[in-house]
Amino acid sequence: LQRRHYSLFTQKMSNHTDAAAEVLLERKGCAGVITLNRPRFLNTLTLGMIRQIYAQLKKWEQDPKTFLIIIKGAGEKAFCAGGDIRALSEARNTNQKMLQDLFREEYILNNAIDSCQKPYIALIHGITMGGGVGVSVHGQFRVATEKSVFAMPETAIGLFPDVGGGYFLPRLQGKLGYFLALTGFRLKGRDVYTAGIATHFVDFEKLGMLEEDLLALKSPSKENIADVLETYHAKSKTDQDKPFILEEHMDKINSWFSTNTVEQIVDNLQQDGSSFALEQLKVIKKMSPTSLKITLRQLMEGSSKTLPEVLIMEYRLSQACMKGHDFHEGVRAVLIDKDQSPKWKPADLKEVTDEDLNDYFKSLGSNDLKF
């Protein structure tokens, strides 16, 4: 009896330790399962989590008994709401090295997911933004549900849509990616699939069963895995007949954002004058002018680069943003004081010169990102 009591106690203890871990890495059935485990913080990524995921991903890639990798978020609210932005801003004065390490290691992980030799399945239920997009969108399969919320809202905090945004955003239909990048517009539910961010859509109530069916596969091929996902996708009827939220605006979006300056985009929206155009104009005018200009150029350049080339460019941008004014002011206004009134410097698009912009994109020499 005593022994049984002890084993129950140790089991409880190990469960407790697991619950306290920021990320759970488990072998289940034929798969390696990654669970982002900070539900109280919407599963935002820390440097420690990035390191653990990368090391385990590399092990599972080499393990002949691991046939697929699943990544999901704990709780029902979020897959992952991004990186730990607040910690980044706090590190500005105390830990310069962390500002380099976090971006470097996060981008290396994003690239490792893209080149992963095993099928990688992200269950992007709930909020999926910024860094959360980085650990999902580059994987082979991304499953959205009716509760998925996708956004790249970085221009609102003086940053830019990183984690490979310069690669995947310009490759979405028409100019949709440019629109999402500059406005931070949120896509919800089936629209995340229609836009091409997700590869499949599954009703939330079926997500647990889908995972069980994937784990139960015996030595599955990529095709076997795709078949299971396809079956669940075909059975999911939520919002099946609802048109894409931006469907009626796509022609206009394609025309407004088909220009190579932010000033021209602003003019296009102003001249259009429709309520949708003016709504987007209002949003863009709240964003960091520097971020807007960086982002447009990032996507234009990224449209013809490979993902590693994009990540090298984004690492340069990240380091320049950490040294600049707007990121720390954005974090203050949105996350710390929450007054939602950032004072951008420069405050006007025309004050952000091409020369300023070139500085952001400059090579870091021996400090450049390497793969």
- Report pLDDT digits (tens) over 82-113: 998 888 888 887 878 888 999 999 999 999 99
Between 222-235 and 207-215, two packed helices, what is the crossing angle to 10 degrees? 160
What is each CA distance from 286 to 101, 190, 281, in whole angstroms?
Answer: 30, 28, 9
DSSP-derived pairing of the beta strands 141-144 and 200-201: parallel
C-alpha 139/C-alpha 134 separation (Å) is 9
Q: How confident is the model at residue 14 (pLDDT cuts 50, 70, 90)?
A: very low
Nearest-angstrom CA–CA distance, 144 and 128 = 10
Contact 214, 31 (CB under 8 A): yes
Distance, CA of 105 to CA of 45 (rounded, Å): 12
Question: Known catalytic residues?
Answer: 83, 131, 154, 162
> pLDDT value at position 6?
37
How much is the pTM? 0.93
Q: How many C-beta atoms lie closer than 10 Å to residue 354's C-beta?
A: 9
For residue range 175-217, what is the model confidence (pLDDT) as tens digits? 999 999 999 999 999 999 999 999 999 999 999 999 999 999 9
User: Pairing relation of β-strands 127-129 and 149-151?
Assistant: parallel
* 335 touches 317 (CB < 8 A): no
